[in-house]
Amino acid sequence: MFKVGFNLTRNASLSIKRMMSSQEPDVIFETLNNAGVVVLNRPKALNSLNTSMVSKLLPQLQEWEKNKTLVIIKGAGDKAFCAGGDVKVAIDKVEGPKFFYTEYNVNYLIGKYKIPYVAIINGITMGGGMGLSVHGRYRVATEKTMIAMPETKIGLFPDVGGSYFLPRLQVNIGLYLGLTGDRLKGKDVVKAGIATHFVSSKRLYELEQLLSRCQNENEVNSLLNKFNEPAEEISLAANIKHINYCFAASTIEEIIERLEKVNNDWSQKTLQTLSQMCPGSLKITLRALQRGAQLDLGQCLQMEYRVACRSTENHDFPEGVRALLIDKDNNPKWNPKTLAEVTDDYVESFFKKLPADKELKFFDSKL
């Protein structure tokens, strides 16, 4: 009896150890020849970012900047590079600002990274996933790539440097994407200026192996150009002139007026989309993108941090997450309810400076 009991206890202990060892880390760091390789490793959650992941990314990227030739970042599985941040954490008044603080520091580091940074944006890439890719020197899209900045639908705004990169896209397509949350796929992502190269997903393994052997920037650039497949005309081509005209307007109300004037299938669909977004988020987003066009990346992230912190304290962001992601009743009760009720003072209150000790500061990459 004793032996049986002992064996059962021992087997249970071994089983627990195996279970513990099988719990893979949420982000994996590997060295492959000359490259540091980051694998976002939450495939069941579409590799969405949490505080644990961004807290690990920052020091590792800082270290690799000093001793690697390049960095490659990708997502586990083939469904997503990174579907965004863990908004259930982000809406917490205490944890949210901590998450944003570290995440924005990672975005800033990527934006000024001294060695080639290659993001393989294979699959869904939204929100925080854009922040981990678009600021880097090279962004490789595939036929499985789908990008979006859908924050206005959940009472937030396109952050992670969205106020920097969106207004810099051609023909006002960035303002269109930021306000409507519309999705771009495959080669459209390159045509829009979000990705730098397009490579078939079946060639990614070969590309990664060859990239890891590159010894300098010129070799990285040359190799990516060899793999690149030229993009055709963007699928939005027929409405580019309308996007440029409508989203050049200085207010949301005027954008809506211009869309009503265009009055085609695309504009009617766009009007319907905007009517489903959080009214406060639309006005805050437009203000952020207008200001971001005149700021550098660091200044944009500092501005966004103020807005993000205020969003965690406000009604709309937690309510949007509740309605769309937690209760999933798809019936958010926005406050203010309508665009007309969103005053200029309300919008400006999100942009006011935080107390000096609460402002976003960037960690020195040499630390």
Indicate which residues carry an active-site annotation: 85, 128, 151, 159
Residue 262: how many CB atoms within 10 A of its CB? Answer: 17
Distance in angstroms (rounded) separating the CA atoms of residues 42 and 34:
25
- Contact between 198 and 186 (Cβ < 8 Å): yes
Does residue 86 contact residue 52 with C-beta atoms inside 8 Å? no
Looking at residue 142, its amino acid is T
Determine the 3-state secondary structure of 4 from DSSP.
helix
Residues 6+ apart with CB under 8 A from 360: 101, 104, 105, 301, 302, 305, 306
DSSP conformation class of 49: B
Q: What is the chain's length?
A: 367
- Residue 243: name the closest of 264, 227, 272 by CA: 264
Crossing angle for the helix pair 51-67 and 95-111, to the nearest 10 degrees: 20
> What residues does 181 pair with on adjacent strands?
none
Strand partners of residue 30: 37
Cβ atoms 81, 75 nearer than 8 A: yes
